[in-house]
Each structure stands twice: as C-alpha cells, then as structure tokens.
Amino acid sequence: MKVETILLLIPLLPLAGALIAGLFRNQIGRAGSHWVTILGVGGSFVLSALILKMQVYDGMQSMNYSLYTWGISDSITFQVGFLIDHLTTLMMVVVSFVSLMVHIYTVGYMQDDPGYQRFFSYIALFTFSMLMLVMSNNFLQLFFGWEAVGLVSYLLIGFWFKRETAIFANMKAFMVNRVGDFGFLLGIAAIMMVFGTLDYAEVFAAAPSKVNETIAVFGTTEWSAITFICVGLFIGAMGKSAQAPLHVWLPDSMEGPTPISALIHAATMVTAGIFMVARMSPLFELSDAALSFVLIIGAFTALSMGLIGIVQNDIKRVIAYSTLSQLGYMTVALGASAYSAAIFHLMTHAFFKSLLFLAAGSVIIAMHHEQDMRNMGGVRRWMPITWITSVVGTLALIGFPFFSGFYSKDMIIEAVGEAHRFGSGFAYWAVLLGVLITAFYSFRLLYLVFHGKPRMDKHTQEHMHETPLVVTIPLILLAIPSVLIGYFTIEPVLFGGWLDDAIKVNEHHDVIAELSLHFHGATAMALHSVQTIPFWLMLGGFALATWIYMFKPSIADSMVKRFSGIYKLLMNKYYFDDFNNKVFARGFVRIGQSLWKRGDAGLIDGVAINGTAALIGKLGERVRLLQSGYLYQYAFAMIIGLIGLLGAWLLV
C-alpha cells in the first residue's frame, strides 16, 4: 500500500464508521454500530502506529502534499492536504489510541442507553474531525477541523438532549468557542492578507521577512502584523483549549456522557489549541508580545482553575477543573517558547487524564450515575482495578517521580524558570504553586471516593461491584502509558530533536536547549527531583490532603468558615458565569429586543412607512380602492402582457 493511501485511510476509516453507524443505525443494530466504529478507529490507530514506525525506524521523511483543490479565488489556491511530520504523527497516534480506548469503554458505559448507535456515530465522527485537524497542511482545513470538532463536541455535550442542563451546556460551549473562532478567523484573514497564501509551509518560509509588516488600526496607528496574527490565532486557542476567560464552557461540558469527557474534553479536542500554537511556532517565535500574552493567560488559568478544583464536589467537575489547570500548564510552556514541552505534556496528559475520567466513569456506573463525591467513600474495596488505575492516574497527574506526568510537568516548570519573557516571573510562581494545589485536589478526590467510610445508601452499597472487562481493560491499557510514556520518550521528544522538523525556536529563547545541558537521562532526572522545590510542594499537597481528608475531616469545614469569602469566590467560579449571563446573554437579548421593537417596528415601519402613508392621505384612500380589485386585474393584465410578448416575438 502506498503511504498516501495509508494516510488517507487514517481519517476516512473513522468517517466511514461514523456514517454507517449513524445513517444505518436501524439496519446494523447496536452491536453492528460498535463493531463498525471500533474497526474504523482501530484501523486508524494501527495505520497511525505504522506511520510512526516508518518515521522512527525506516527514516520516513516528513510529507507535505495536497489532496484536492478546494477552491481557487484571486491568486489564492485553497487546498485540502496533509502535512505529515513527527508532530502530526505523535498527535495521530495519541488521538487514535485514546479514541479506540474510549470506543471500547463506551460499549460498557452506554450499555443501556437508547442512543447507543448515535453515540458511536458521533465519537467516530469526532475522531475523523480531529484527525483532519492535526493532519492539515493549511489554515483552511485547520479551521474546518477546528469547527468540526466543535460541532461534534456540541452534539455530544447535548447527547442527552432531554436534559435542560445538557442543552444549555452544549449551546454555551459552542457560543464560547465561536467567540474564540472570531479571533481565529481574523487571524487567518490577516495571514491571507500578509502572506497571500494559507499554506503552512509557504507562510512559515515567508514569516521572517514579514516581521516589520503592519496592519492599520485607527488612523495612523499600526499594529505589528505578526503579533496581530498570533494573538488572533491564540484567541481561537483560548476558546478551544479553554483558557480564561473563555474557559467557562468546559466545566459545563461535563453534562455529556463520561467517555466523551475523557476523549474530547480532556485528551484530544481541548488540546487542539495547544497543538495549533506549537504548529505555528515559526510565527509565534517572531512576536514576543504575543508569547507574553500566551504566557500570562496560561499562568492565570493554571493557578486559578486549580483552586476551583479544590472546592468542587462533583467527581467529574474536579477532573474538569484539573484539566483546565493542566491546559494552563501547556499554555505556559507555549508562552515560554518550550513548545516541545507543551506537546510532551499534552501527550502524557492525554493518557493519564483520560484514564482518570474513565476511572471516574467506572465509579459512576457502579454508583448508578451518582457523581457527588460526598455520597461515595470506601469504593476501593469493591472496585480494586478502578482504584489502582485511579491511583496510577493521580500519581501521574501530580507529577510523582518516574510517572509520565512528572517528566512533562517538571520540564514545563523548569522551562518557565529559564524564560526571560515579560510575565515569566508570575508564570513561574503560578506553576509552582499549581503543583501544591494539584496534589491537594487530586488526593482529596482519591480519598473522598475510594477511602474512608462508605457514605452511599444501603441499596447502592449492596449492588457495588467492579465494572465489566470492556470498562476495566481500557483503564489498564491507559494506565500503562500513564506510567511509562514519560520515562521512555522524554529523551527523544524533548532533547533528541524529534519535533525539530515541526517546531522552530529562535535560539535566543530556546529554553529547552538550556535544559538539555542539565539533562542526564530520565532516571537521573527522577532521582534528582527530591532536591527540587516542585517535589516538596507536591508532597506538601499530598500531606495536607491526607491530614484533612483521612484524619481530620472537621478541618475542611472550619476552613470553609474561616475563609468564607474566598470559599464563596471559588464556589462561584470567580463570577465569570454570572457576568457572562448578565452582560452578554441578557444584554444581547435586550439589544435585540430594542432594535427590533424600536428600530424595525417603531422607526422604520412605524414612523417612516406608516408616516409616509398618513402623509399621502387621500391618495392612500385611492390606492386602497385600487387594491381591492387588484388581484384579478393584475393577473389579467399580466397574462395579456405575456401573450403580447410571446405573440410579438413569434411574429417578428
């Protein structure tokens, strides 16, 4: 098989699965729908792995080619095509693997759901869209994938469309993403104006020569074109990757079924923004202002969202806020020019965060769809596999030495420490403090759910048991990379130049190159970590959580009382939602009402039209008389006219 054929099959197999499962859902039945999509996504994973193998062992060069010409207008040729370099392949493997795990898991999770086939159709469609996004070689297709994953996310958050909360959440998600896409589209428009092409390779090649280009803003005020482009694109990333203040949709997206929280709202789609900025590194490197913006937004998100995670009681929401915080870490890495560290964390996070979500889902199944951690406790005695895999995921998340998250997170922290960009001081403290917070809320979750006394009702307790194999096997398969992937890949991915064919860093701020001077292998790094601040902060968070939730639960309550102001602030999520509801949602409706009632109905129809009519006065009377016999007369005249026209033509 030709490489091009393999590459084409990678996105098309899931698409075929999605179409069959969706359009022929009644013909193929429930089992048919999961087989066809699992085969599609499984094939996609195998082929992605094959491409990876060809790149690693057979020295396959990066490929950049067009599939077909979408359209030609002006001097622009809009193409649909693939850019297959190491960054793409890494994303392809991660996306198709996590997707495959989620597909298998869904067989168990959605077992009794009447929308079974529809669900499989959606997640396979998502896989297609996400693959198109990461494989793109141009901004048009990027935008297609970008909005397509948004569409599927919308459909999946609102999967249980009878629930008022779900259909509120999905609309909110789409709207907030559209605000981001607004910036994204303007960024793309600026690229087209400045570069005259939307092809990645051409844009990147021309970028250094466009550093001094400007865009006219007001009168003589001009902005740097590259900064404008980067900020615009990043606003898109803020929507998709849920960076404050466009993060508000992600916690609500937990209204969707848990498998998609793992796949879309933790492992893959929300990392699209991170991927995109890394892909655009040749552009971002040219704008320190844009990178500082990225750095500060990321740092704020990493810290502030972790804090909210501490006070949440819904198991999925804790993980959701954790995801927000971790996305903040990745964004910080981007802002520090440590793009490869961001991608590295993206990869490890995809494994351990989808593991944590799926494990939470496993608990939720056993608890009969109860998600409040206050009603759990002691679950580990019934669900050993779920418990152990959760512990693995937690250790990876908090950055325990040798676990995957340790390597990726530590690298981000060190990279920020090396950065000298505006905002890097704040960012460094934010990510350090974030370590303590992460460890705290992660163990809080672990203790509240799996340890302590069972707090569920008798009925639930009697029926508690480990979930079936379709659920636990994906957990185990995800737990393995959650432990190992960091140890084995840190060297090639970060320091071996694996991503060099995609990521370009200006040597003046190449922090990863700085770090490589101190890197002496993964084992040494882990052993050395006991001498570093993050390790002790992590232990501190762990100790604090253990003390409070294992030994002195009363402290939690007294802390809430003592710091009631802060607690209220966190419980209300810094009032972002209230602000948006009051100002934007209600404000927009109010503006619409007034434009409609006052503008259209009042001014135009009322004053202008009816006013004119009144002015005409008696003439109006006559017009009215004329109108009463209108229909018949005019139709008659029309037919006469047409006959005349036809006749005249035939005669001449």
Q: Which of residues 206-225 bind other proteins (CB under 8 A)?
A: 215-217
Q: Measured between alpha carbons, how far is 328 from 634 in angstroms, rounded to an integer?
A: 69
**Residue 165 in the binding site for other proteins (CB under 8 A):** no
**Residue 27 in the binding site for other proteins (CB under 8 A):** no
**Residue 600 in the binding site for other proteins (CB under 8 A):** yes
Closest C-alpha among 81, 32, 88, 101 to residue 55: 88
Helix (H) or strand (E) holding 81: strand 76-84
- For 124-177, the three-class secondary structure string (H helix, E strand, C coil) is HHHHHHHHHHHHECEHHHHHHHHHHHHHHHHHHHCCCCCCHHHHHHHHHHHHHH
Closest C-alpha among 580, 293, 522 to residue 404: 522
**Residue 74 in the binding site for other proteins (CB under 8 A):** yes
Q: Measured between alpha carbons, how far is 613 from 607 in angstroms, rounded to an integer?
A: 10
Q: Measured between alpha carbons, how far is 272 from 606 in angstroms, rounded to an integer?
A: 50
Nearer to other proteins, 517 or 652 (CB): 652
**Residue 305 in the binding site for other proteins (CB under 8 A):** no
180-213 core/surface letters (b: 16 or more CB in 10 A; e: else): bbebbbbbbebbbebbebbbbeebbeebeebeeb
- Using alpha carbons only, give the angle 256, 262, 267 rounded to the nearest 5 degrees: 130
**Residue 19 in the binding site for other proteins (CB under 8 A):** no
As beta bridge partners, residue 136 has 82
Nearer to other proteins, 192 or 543 (CB): 192
In this structure, are residues 441 and 315 in contact, taking their beta carbons and an 8 Å threshold?
A: no
Q: Tell which one of 162, 369, 459, 465 touches other proteins (CB under 8 A).
A: 162
Q: Measured between alpha carbons, how far is 512 from 411 in angstroms, rounded to an integer?
A: 8
Nearer to other proteins, 181 or 414 (CB): 181
Closest C-alpha among 249, 292, 285, 300 to residue 270: 249
Nearer to other proteins, 196 or 492 (CB): 196
Count of Cβ atoms closer than 10 Å to residue 398 Cβ: 29
**Residue 641 in the binding site for other proteins (CB under 8 A):** yes
In this structure, are residues 366 and 379 in contact, taking their beta carbons and an 8 Å threshold?
A: yes
The amino acid that residue 413 corresponds to is I
- Look at the alpha carbons of 377, 356, 362, 269 in this order and tell me if their dihedral is positive or negative: positive
Q: Tell which one of 31, 211, 524, 591 touches other proteins (CB under 8 A).
A: 591
**Residue 579 in the binding site for other proteins (CB under 8 A):** no
Nearer to other proteins, 72 or 201 (CB): 72
DSSP-derived secondary structure for 356-406 = HHHHHHHHHHHTTS--BGGG---GGGT-HHHHHHHHHHHHHHHT-TTSHHH
CB of 621 to other proteins, least distance (A): 14
Nearer to other proteins, 75 or 212 (CB): 75
**Residue 599 in the binding site for other proteins (CB under 8 A):** yes
Nearer to other proteins, 559 or 646 (CB): 646
By residue count, the chain amounts to 652
**Residue 68 in the binding site for other proteins (CB under 8 A):** yes
Closest C-alpha among 55, 503, 505 to residue 279: 503
Binding flags for other proteins, 28-67, as an x/- string (CB under 8 A): ----------------------------------------
CB of 123 to other proteins, least distance (A): 16
Stretch that binds other proteins, among 168-176, 261-269, 407-415, 564-572 (CB under 8 A): 168-176
Q: Measured between alpha carbons, how far is 364 from 556 in angstroms, rounded to an integer?
A: 24
Q: Tell which one of 69, 313, 558, 572 touches other proteins (CB under 8 A).
A: 69
CB of 208 to other proteins, least distance (A): 21
Nearer to other proteins, 217 or 530 (CB): 217
Nearer to other proteins, 5 or 612 (CB): 612
**Token duo for residue 136:** 């793109």
CB of 264 to other proteins, least distance (A): 17
Nearer to other proteins, 553 or 599 (CB): 599
Q: Which of residues 215-274 bind other proteins (CB under 8 A)?
A: 215-217
Q: Tell which one of 4, 564, 596, 640 touches other proteins (CB under 8 A).
A: 596
The amino acid that residue 355 corresponds to is L
Closest C-alpha among 503, 494, 499 to residue 521: 494
Nearer to other proteins, 578 or 605 (CB): 605
Q: Tell which one of 605, 616, 622, 640 touches other proteins (CB under 8 A).
A: 605
Q: Which of residues 610-629 bind other proteins (CB under 8 A)?
A: 627
Stretch that binds other proteins, among 204-212, 259-267, 317-325, 587-595 (CB under 8 A): 587-595
Stretch that binds other proteins, among 101-109, 146-154, 355-363, 529-537 (CB under 8 A): 146-154
CA 557 to mean position of chain CA atoms:
34
CB of 193 to other proteins, least distance (A): 5
Stretch that binds other proteins, among 251-259, 404-412, 491-499, 590-598 (CB under 8 A): 590-598
Binding flags for other proteins, 173-202, as an x/- string (CB under 8 A): -xx--xx-xx--xx-xxx-xx--x------
Site residue total, other proteins (CB under 8 A): 68
CB of 591 to other proteins, least distance (A): 5
> Counting beta carbons within 10 angstroms of the beta carbon of residue 373, is it exposed (0 to 12), middle (13 to 18) or buried (19 or more)?
buried
In this structure, are residues 515 and 411 in contact, taking their beta carbons and an 8 Å threshold?
A: yes
Nearer to other proteins, 222 or 500 (CB): 222
**Token duo for residue 609:** 């039209």
Q: Tell which one of 56, 527, 530, 608 touches other proteins (CB under 8 A).
A: 608
Q: Which of residues 547-576 bind other proteins (CB under 8 A)?
A: none
Nearer to other proteins, 1 or 631 (CB): 631
CB of 463 to other proteins, least distance (A): 28
CB of 296 to other proteins, least distance (A): 24
Q: Which of residues 103-142 bind other proteins (CB under 8 A)?
A: 140
**Residue 604 in the binding site for other proteins (CB under 8 A):** yes
DSSP-derived secondary structure for 520-554 = --HHHHHHHGGGSHHHHHHHHHHHHHHIIIII-HH
What Å distances lie between residue 371 and 253, 379, 459, 474, 533, CA to CA? 14, 13, 16, 21, 35
Binding site for other proteins (CB under 8 A): 68-76, 140, 143-144, 146-148, 151, 154-155, 158, 161-162, 164, 167-168, 171, 174-175, 178-179, 181-182, 185-186, 188-190, 192-193, 196, 215-217, 588-589, 591-593, 595-596, 599-600, 604-605, 608-609, 627, 630-631, 634-635, 638, 641-642, 645-646, 648-649, 652
